[in-house]
Chain A
Amino acid sequence: MLWYKGWLETRYKLCMALGTMGLILFVQFSVRTTASVNSDAALFGALMVSIPSLVTMICAILAGAGVATQSSFRANKGLHGSMLFTLSLPVSRLRLLAVRASIGWLEGAGAMAALCCGLWLLLPSLRATVTAVEMFEYTGTLIACASALYFLSVLLATFLDDQWRVWGTMIGSAVLWWLFSHTPLPASANIFQAMGKSSPLIAHTIPWTAIAFSLGLAAVLFFAALKVVQAREY
Chain B
Amino acid sequence: MTDFIIETNQLCKSFKNKPALRGLDLRVPVGSIFGFLGRNGAGKTTTIKTLMGLLRSDSGDAHVFGIPVADADRAVEIRRRIGFVTEDKELYPYMTVEQLIRFTRPFYPQWRDDLERRYLEMFELPPKRKIPDLSKGMRSKLMLLLAISRGAELLILDEPTDGLDPVATEDLLRELVAIAASSETTMFFSSHQLSEVERIADHIGIIDRGRMIVTGSLDDMKLRYQRLQVVFANSVELPAHWADGVESVRQEGRVVSLLASHNVDSIVEQARSIPGTTVERFPVTLKEIFLEHTRSN
Which A residues are closer than 8 A to B by beta carbons?
Answer: 1, 4-5, 8-9, 69-71, 74, 76, 80-82, 84-85, 87-93, 230, 233-234
A80 to chain B, nearest CB (A): 7
Which B residues are closer than 8 A to A by beta carbons?
Answer: 49, 52-56, 72-73, 76-77, 79-80, 82, 84, 86, 88-95, 99, 102-108, 143
B248 to chain A, nearest CB (A): 37
Given contacts A8-B99, A90-B77, A91-B107, are A85 and B54 in contact (CB under 8 A)? no
Residues of chain B contacted by A1 (CB below 8 angstroms) = 102-107
B95 to chain A, nearest CB (A): 6
Residues of chain A contacted by B99 (CB below 8 angstroms) = 8
Instruction: Jot down 26 A-B pairs with beta carbons below 8 A, ordered by A.
Output: A1-B103, A1-B105, A1-B107, A5-B92, A5-B95, A8-B94, A8-B99, A9-B94, A70-B90, A70-B92, A74-B93, A76-B88, A81-B89, A84-B90, A87-B53, A88-B52, A88-B54, A88-B84, A88-B86, A90-B79, A90-B107, A92-B73, A93-B72, A230-B72, A233-B55, A234-B54
Q: Which residue of B has the minimal Cβ distance to A231?
A: B56
Q: Are A82 and B103 in contact (CB under 8 A)?
A: no
Q: Which of A74, A80, A88 is within 8 Å of B79, CB to CB?
A: A88
Residues of chain A contacted by B53 (CB below 8 angstroms) = 87
Q: Are B91 and A85 in contact (CB under 8 A)?
A: yes
Residues of chain A contacted by B102 (CB below 8 angstroms) = 1, 4
A110 to B262, CA, bound (A): 71
Given A1-B104, A76-B88, 4 more A-B residue pairs with CB atoms under 8 Å apart are: A8-B92, A84-B90, A91-B107, A234-B55
Q: Which of B56, B76, B88, B105 is within 8 Å of A91, CB to CB?
A: B76
Residues of chain A contacted by B105 (CB below 8 angstroms) = 1
